[in-house]
Amino acid sequence: MPQEPAQQPPASETQMQHTPDHGEHSYRGSGRLAGKVAVITGADSGIGKAVAIAYAREGADVLISYLSEDADADDTRKWVEEAGRTAVLMRGDLAEPHHCRDVIDRAVQEWGRIDVLVSNAAYQMTHETVEEISDDEWDHTLATNLSALFHLVKAAVPHMGPGSSIIGSSSVNSDTPSPTLMPYAATKAAIANMTASLAQLLGPKGIRANSVAPGPIWTPLIPSTMPQEKVEKFGEDTPLGRPGQPAELAPVYVLLASDEASYVSGARVAVTGGRPVL
């Protein structure tokens, strides 16, 4: 990657010099999610934004959950509405259990049900030693990345019917953890494990649960959480030799949300540029 200005988290797409590709000008829908209602966390930028755009172009209405990046979230809303679908913005911190419940309540108030839940919002920070990781950061990382999935699912399941889909954003770090991202990597392994459990718990209700394991994807999270020397080489160590773009994740999330994946549950789908997830 060329040099990218550093940011402080939470990072914003609007401050990036090399803007990620979310599929704004490339994704073409074909009605695969027609009439569905989707809740997507972290949908202001990165993978979540690409998924929101794709879902809308496939015919879904979308609740866009985000932390505080209003300009980014408003841009996602614009693309959803340009696709002819309804977008609802929900600002707030998913590390707080009550906000997870508020997100689900808002979707139910708007549409009366939830067909797809994508738990994608995440926090990470690079540390060279265990001693650098504060207790507060450890707790915050687990609350944002993992506990939020639990609270969202618990609140959403009563409003999900047969054929509904839960999708957790895991990571290649779930299988081959980066030691400098230890708290983040631990949560991503747990997300893969938790969605596998949910697939078994919720199968009798006809609700599917899967996770997606991205490799190095170019999002605002990268320049705000990694040292510059790592940002410049980001993704070069994959077999494909480059980082992925958020738009390259969206088709997998569409498949898992669609009725075409009616027998896919308990899976972890790797989108890693060639890094194996076994």
Assess contact for 148 and 95: CB atoms under 8 A: yes
Residue 204, CB half-sphere, CA atoms under 13 Å: how many? 1
Residue 51, CB half-sphere, CA atoms under 13 Å: how many? 33
Query: How far is Cα 187 from Cα 170, in angstroms, rounded to an integer?
Result: 8
Q: Where does the pLDDT of residue 4 fall: very low under 50, low under 70, confident under 90, or very high at 90 and above?
A: low
Phi/psi of residue 150, each to 5°? -60, -50
> Averaged over 140-169, what is the pLDDT?
98
CATH numbers and ranges of domains, the chain: 28-271 (3.40.50.720)
Residue 155: the pLDDT is: 98
Catalytically annotated residue among 66, 184, 253, 263:
184
Structure-token pair, residue 257 = 């949300």
Provide the 3-class DSSP secondary structure of residue 45: coil
Query: How far is Cα 159 from Cα 63, in angstroms, rounded to an integer?
Result: 15
Does residue 158 register a pLDDT over 60?
yes
> Averaged over 179-184, what is the pLDDT?
97
Does residue 110 register a pLDDT over 60?
yes
Q: What is the mean pLDDT of the chain?
A: 94
DSSP state of 179: G
Residue 219: the pLDDT is: 84
Left (φ > 0), alpha (ψ -120 to 50) or beta: where does 276 sit?
beta
Does residue 25 register a pLDDT over 60?
yes
Instruction: Convert the pLDDT of each residue in 265-278 to its tens digit.
Output: 999 999 999 999 98
Does residue 97 register a pLDDT over 60?
yes
Query: How far is Cα 50 from Cα 44, in angstroms, rounded to an integer?
Result: 9
> Averaged over 100-127, what is the pLDDT?
97
Query: How far is Cα 117 from Cα 41, in angstroms, rounded to an integer?
Result: 8
List, in order, residues 6 or more apart from 185 with CB less than 8 Å away: 171, 173, 174, 177, 178
Instruction: Convert the pLDDT of each residue in 35-51 to its tens digit.
Output: 999 999 999 999 999 99
Amino acid at position 207, single letter: I
* Sheet with 61-66: strands ordered across: 87-91, 61-66, 37-41, 116-119, 165-169, 208-214, 268-271
Query: How far is Cα 226 from Cα 14, in angstroms, rounded to an integer?
Result: 18
Instruction: Convert the pLDDT of each residue in 187-232 to its tens digit.
Output: 999 999 999 999 999 999 999 999 999 999 988 878 877 778 888 8
Assess contact for 53 and 83: CB atoms under 8 A: yes
Q: How far is CA 186 from CA 9, 43, 108, 162, 222, in A?
A: 20, 22, 31, 31, 18
**Helix, strand, coil percentages in the chain from 3-state DSSP, rounded to 5:** 45, 15, 40
Residue 153: the pLDDT is: 98
Q: Where does the pLDDT of residue 3 fall: very low under 50, low under 70, confident under 90, or very high at 90 and above?
A: low
Residue 12: the pLDDT is: 77
Per DSSP, helices labelled H in 2-144 are 46-57, 70-82, 97-111, 135-142
Catalytic residue list contains 55:
no
